[in-house]
Amino acid sequence: MIRSDGEVVVDSPNGGIEGFPPIAEEGGTLRTFFVPKLCNHCEEAPCVQVCPVGATFITDDGAVLVDEEYCIGCGYCVQACPYGARWFDPEKHVARKCTFCYHRLAKGKVPACVEVCPTSARLFGEVGHRANPLARFLRFNEIQVLKPHLNTKPKVFYANLDGEVR
Amino acid sequence: MQGYIYPNEFELRWSLLIVLYPYLTGLVAGAFILASLARVFNVKEVEPTYRLALLTALAFLIVAPLPLLAHLGHPERSYEIFLTPNRKSAMAMFGFVYAWYLMVVLLLEIWFDYRRDFVLRAREATGPRKWFYYALTLGSTDISDRALGFDDKAGRWITIIGIPSAFLLHGYVGFIFGSVKANPWWSSVLMPVVFLFSAIVSGIALVLIIYIVATLFRGKKVDMGCADKLATFLFYAMVVDFSLEMLDFIHRLYESEESIEILSQLIEGRLFVSLIVLQVVLGTLVPLIWLGVVSPALSWRGTRKVPAEVRRLIYLGCALLVQVGIFSIRWNVVIGEQLFSKSLRGLTVYKAELLGVEGLLMAGAFVILPFIILWLLVKIMPPWVENELPAPPEA
């Protein structure tokens, strides 16, 4: 939320599981919006670069995955990800992340978050393909990526992203 | 917690053990560089600490990777770093830098330096001790002048290779942190250089502490020429180190990038004690002033004339404060980095636990362990000048 005085308030109470109660703020609201953050499956992924054993890798079709049988659990990738997209599995003691539901992709399905979104706010497709819904979307919208100055070349694109989003 | 942080930032992934790792590695590099002063640069005054510095470097080098290992989620897979390293990973390559330093530089130099002693001890001793020292000679028992001349030459060359290696060792640790572009607190080209000079500072201070304390416990007289020289070098190294840190600080402040706001909050709040009070004031400025006044760094007899006993105590106090300061640097780098969110919108807190693998007790054990190893090494290979074995009678 951006207040009328320009101050930005970001919150995600309890991960958003119980919804988002209205924020009682004095001075009025300028804009409010949601920004889902997920692994950006970067083309130049810092997490892949730093992994000492190569347990994190980019698949031929572009998803960034972790081999749980191979990860030594050093946590360097957690530090290197600019998007806070990696976490440490307290039971398996390895790094975990969004896989774009790779198990579903392998069966020709789209990721679960894309499938269940009631307003079709998420689109999934092959980047660089000329004639799919994603290509059309990228053509007709103003597209941004997160932290472009880091040159990670994300494959998660946002349309009409507010400049306050980092 | 304050402001907004990503869910994965609530718990700090790198904790106290990772603070220890650059701290211990820095002591190794610093102690070695001190040893090289005597060996390569012929600084005669610090010779009493030459062997001690080498043994200190070895003791700490043995322990340095242990906190890393203990911290891993799967330590049993750590060998993969050597078998299938990702050549683009700074951390993977560190394994090789470490191995090079241990095997090629430190062990070889110590062996060449002590080979004569091993041979003489093997001749003198009886029973298992004889065999133990004989094993240490690796079967090379020739101590003719020519052989010893070769040892000396080899040791000298290894030190010459060792200096850039020690620079590489700790500069590399700085690179592991400084090359992470995701984090504005780390991402700095100065990081390896700052790490290197802080390593030299910490290494000299450590050897100074061990030298003074060990000499007092042995009931011997501290060689004040040596202590003065160590204090002088400590002072110079601290001036360079502090200047670099200030340069880094001013540069950040002047560039005033996107992250400056959250970093200011970090320094003014969460890191105030560890950065301003411990690192800058107690760990740097106070010892700098004392050393500047007492040691012969600024004028050859010291700006103020102080009796040797008091000077010794001041050196010891300064060196201890320096250790606190350097540990705080490592703390501020490793823990400080994780206290603010990569969204740059919030701060979290770190509470060290007492027990457990990453707890205070474990960390304490990793700090004490190198001293135990050093004690053993000193028993096996006395580094003191008066222990030098006389030349064997001519046959």
Query: What pLDDT digit, counting tens, does each position of B154-172 carry?
Result: 998 998 888 888 888 888 8
Say if residue A91's pLDDT is above 60.
Answer: yes
What pLDDT, on the 0 to 100 scale, is given for residue B141?
85
Average of per-residue pLDDT values in chain B: 90
- In whole angstroms, how far apart are CA B380 and each of B39, B129, B336, B352, B376? 22, 10, 41, 37, 6
CB contact under 8 A, A75 and B14: yes
User: Residues B354-358: what's their mean pLDDT?
Assistant: 81
Give A89→chain B minimum CA distance, Å: 9
CB contact under 8 A, A88 and B6: no
Residues of A in contact with B6 (CB under 8 A): 37, 84
A158: part of which helix (H) or strand (E)? strand A158-159
Nearest to A166 among B3, B11, B344 (CB): B344
CA distance B387 to B121: 12
Amino acid symbol at B314: I
Q: Where are the alpha helices (DSSP H) in chain B?
A: 16-39, 50-63, 65-71, 80-83, 90-99, 108-124, 127-136, 145-178, 191-217, 224-255, 260-268, 286-294, 308-339, 360-380
Nearest to A51 among B8, B89, B338 (CB): B89
User: How is chain A split among helix, strand and coil, in percent rounded to 5?
Assistant: 20, 10, 65
Interface residue A93 vs chain B (CB under 8 A): yes
What pLDDT, on the 0 to 100 scale, is given for residue B317?
96
DSSP per residue over B67-136, as a string? Answer: HHHHHSS-GGGTTHHHHS--TT-HHHHHHHHHHIIIIIIIIHHHHHHHHHHHHHHHHH--HHHHHHHHHH
Please report the domains of chain A, with CATH numbers, ordered by start residue. Answer: 1-34 (no CATH), 46-159 (3.30.70.20)
Q: Report CA B323 to chain centroid distance, whole Å.
A: 10
The ipTM of this complex is 0.88
Say if residue B394's pLDDT is above 60.
Answer: no
Task: Give percent of chain A with pLDDT exceeding 90.
Answer: 69
Residues of A in contact with B343 (CB under 8 A): 10, 84, 166
pLDDT (tens digit, 9 = 90+) per residue, B129-157?
A: 999 999 999 988 888 889 999 999 999 89
CA distance A16 to B110: 60
- Residue A30 — φ and ψ, nearest 5°? -85, -55
DSSP per residue over A70-107, as a string? Answer: T-----HHHHH-TT---EE-TTT-SEE---SSHHHHTT
Residues of B in contact with A93 (CB under 8 A): 73-74
Say if residue A18's pLDDT is above 90.
Answer: no
Closest residue of A to B93, CA-based?
A52
What pLDDT, on the 0 to 100 scale, is given for residue B295?
87
What pLDDT, on the 0 to 100 scale, is given for residue B126?
87
Give the residue from A121, A118, A139, A120 showing the smallest Cα distance to A130: A139
What pLDDT, on the 0 to 100 scale, is given for residue A15?
66
Interface residue B3 vs chain A (CB under 8 A): yes
- Per-residue confidence at B304, pLDDT binned at 50, 70, 90? confident
Q: Which of the four CATH numbers 3.30.70.270, 3.20.20.150, 1.20.1630.10, 3.40.50.300 does domain B2-384 have? A: 1.20.1630.10
Interface residue B81 vs chain A (CB under 8 A): yes
Interface residue A72 vs chain B (CB under 8 A): yes
- Per-residue confidence at B211, pLDDT binned at 50, 70, 90? very high
Residue B340's DSSP bridge partners are: B347
Nearest to B74 among A52, A76, A93 (CB): A93
Interface residue A154 vs chain B (CB under 8 A): no
What pLDDT, on the 0 to 100 scale, is given for residue B89?
92
Nearest to A53 among B14, B92, B182 (CB): B92
CB contact under 8 A, A12 and B4: yes
Give B318→chain A minimum CA distance, Å: 34
What pLDDT, on the 0 to 100 scale, is given for residue B306?
82
User: Residues B302-309: what's their mean pLDDT?
Assistant: 79
CA distance B143 to B86: 45
User: Residues B95-117: what's their mean pLDDT?
Assistant: 89
Residues of B in contact with A50 (CB under 8 A): 89-91, 180
What pLDDT, on the 0 to 100 scale, is given for residue B169?
86
- Provide CB contacts within 8 A for B216, sequence distance 6+: B222
Give the residue from B125, B121, B162, B137 showing the smallest Cα distance to B33: B162
Say if residue B395's pLDDT is above 50.
Answer: no
- Per-residue confidence at A25, pLDDT binned at 50, 70, 90? low
Contact B234, B314 (CB under 8 A): no
CB contact under 8 A, A72 and B341: no
Residues of B in contact with A72 (CB under 8 A): 72-75, 77-78, 80-81
User: Residues B106-123: what's their mean pLDDT?
Assistant: 92
Q: Where are the alpha helices (DSSP H) in A23-163?
A: 46-50, 76-80, 102-105, 112-116, 133-140
Better-scored residue on pLDDT, B236 or A27: B236
What pLDDT, on the 0 to 100 scale, is given for residue B301?
67
What pLDDT, on the 0 to 100 scale, is given for residue A33?
85
User: Residues B278-306: what's their mean pLDDT?
Assistant: 86
Here the tokens at position B149 are 């001349």
Residues of B in contact with A8 (CB under 8 A): 345
Amino acid symbol at B280: V
Amino acid symbol at A5: D
Say if residue B23's pLDDT is above 60.
Answer: yes
Say if residue B52's pLDDT is above 90.
Answer: yes
